[in-house]
Amino acid sequence: MATFYVDNTLHPAANAVGTATAGGADYILLDDAGTQADDEFNGYGILITGGTGAGQQRRIVDYDHTGHPSGERWAMVDSAWATNPDATSTYEITVGCDGNSGASEGGGSGGAWRTIDRAMNAIAGAGGGGHRIYVKDGRAYLETATVDTAGQTGGPVIVEGYGSTPGDGGMATVDGGGVRSSGITSSISGGIYHVFRNLRATHCTASGFDMPTTQTVRFINCVSENNGANGFNMGQDNLVLGCEAIGNGGHGFICVSSSTFFGTVFVHCRSRGNGNQQYKGGSILLVFCTASGLANNKQAVAAPVTPDGAILINCAIDGTGSTGATGYYMSLGVRQMAINCIFSNLNRGIQAVSTDLNRFGRNNLFFNCSAGDMTNFVSDGGDVLADPGFVDAAAGDFRLAVGSPALRAGWPGHLDIGAAQHPSRNMIGGPCQVGVQG
């Protein structure tokens, strides 16, 4: 098992980003900003971002700020350019370089890579399973990172963002820049045995996390927001923990129906402000999840496929600000239920296309569902019809305020109705809390 590092952090010098004044076969003259000392950039990566030679990446092996015969701010690179840079070439100097080994943090030949995709490519040569890729936060990764090699059942590949120290929970961002279709995707199908942790995908023209033909993926503490299509476009048999889908043009979370009951499980997830359904798929289980900012005339949770629908336990769905929205919609399939959930400010709370004894719930709270609380859905009792008393639904805070009728009204006795909530976005690692014990 190997550990790899990715770091595209800029060197702090003023001319770490600039336009070259000239270039040659194995060097580039940086712009005239800053007063760096000799060797200041040694070991750092340099990428030609535009102009002549754009796209080339090298490592600086020697830097002379003054006094070099070829000119001021002379930077020699580790191998000859395919196309020599010139005065039209723009560049940036980063800690990581894809010509490094990726084996350690920092710069130098043994240091970090510049791109996540370079690390993904290395998994094949490293033998597949049990490897870890640490991706340093600092600035956005303007790329599409593609899974090329599957992990293994007992040794998944873990791709994890971090701040200053691996494991500290910092979040790394992959930014599509409005031109790339996805942030993280896969070139292979089936069971890929990957874990994505502390990663954010944004500004993609399609889906932030886009892997609809894969299986056995875990998403932990990830965010997908402001993408053109779906937030998380998944295959089947996945685990989604503490993730958020925000403001995407399509669905928040969507997964393929599975032949396995509970094929995809969502725990402590939030979906809000997406343009279609907030959660969609068959054979899914939602526990302690929330949905808000619903699209007009859409369903927050949609289970329109066979063989199985969705089961909701201790979830909160609020339609404030939307028109014609349904909380939980089920079409075909069996084993569909809702227990200890809140459905508030909706057109319909729960709606099924037909009555089926396998579609039932209990101890749910309904409030202000103008067209009906339940349609073709059987309740086993314990329901509450009252304002849930959220702390601040308009701000997306669905904790239960002191005195809420949902407190200790759940099943089995003394559980609360509603979703476990949290003051911050980092939802993994702490104790589960169902509502607020007033």
pTM of the model: 0.92
Give residue-wise pLDDT tens across range 176-189: 999 999 999 999 99
The per-residue pLDDT for 260 is 58
Average pLDDT, the chain: 90
Strand partners, 202: 175, 225
Tokens for 351, please give them: 């709606």
CA–CA distance, 185 with 208 (Å, rounded to integer) = 8
The per-residue pLDDT for 422 is 44
Percent of the chain with pLDDT over 70: 91
Residue 230 scores a pLDDT above 90? yes
- Looking at 22-31, 54-63, 269-278, 351-360, which range is the least confident one? 351-360
How buried is residue 247: exposed, middle or buried, by Cβ count under 10 Å (0-12/13-18/19+)? middle
Question: Which is more confidently placed, 292 or 359?
Answer: 292
Report residue 193: phi and psi, to 5°. Answer: 50, 65
One DSSP character per residue, 133-150 reads: EEEE-SS-B-S-EEE-S-
Residue 98's identity, in one-letter code, is: D
CA–CA distance, 404 with 9 (Å, rounded to integer) = 47
Give residue-wise pLDDT tens across range 134-177: 999 989 999 999 999 999 988 999 999 999 999 999 999 999 99
Q: Which residues contact 258 (CB under 8 A, 6 or more apart)?
A: 236, 237, 264, 282, 283
Q: Which residues contact 67 (CB under 8 A, 6 or more apart)?
A: none
Do 136 and 24 form a contact (C-beta atoms < 8 A)? no
Residue 309 scores a pLDDT above 70? yes
Q: Parallel, antiparallel, or unpaired for β 74-77 and 57-64?
A: antiparallel
Question: Which is more confidently placed, 226 or 72?
Answer: 226
In angstroms, the Cα distances linking 130 to 111, 153, 187, 211, 246 are 20, 9, 19, 20, 31
Residue 108 scores a pLDDT above 70? yes
Do 369 and 393 form a contact (C-beta atoms < 8 A)? no
The per-residue pLDDT for 421 is 46
Give residue-wise pLDDT tens across range 353-409: 877 666 789 999 999 999 999 998 889 999 999 999 999 988 888 999 999 999 999
CA–CA distance, 272 with 292 (Å, rounded to integer) = 5
Summarize the confidence of residues 109-122 as an average pLDDT: 96
Q: How many CB atoms lie within 10 A of CB 336?
A: 24
Tokens for 85, please give them: 């840079």
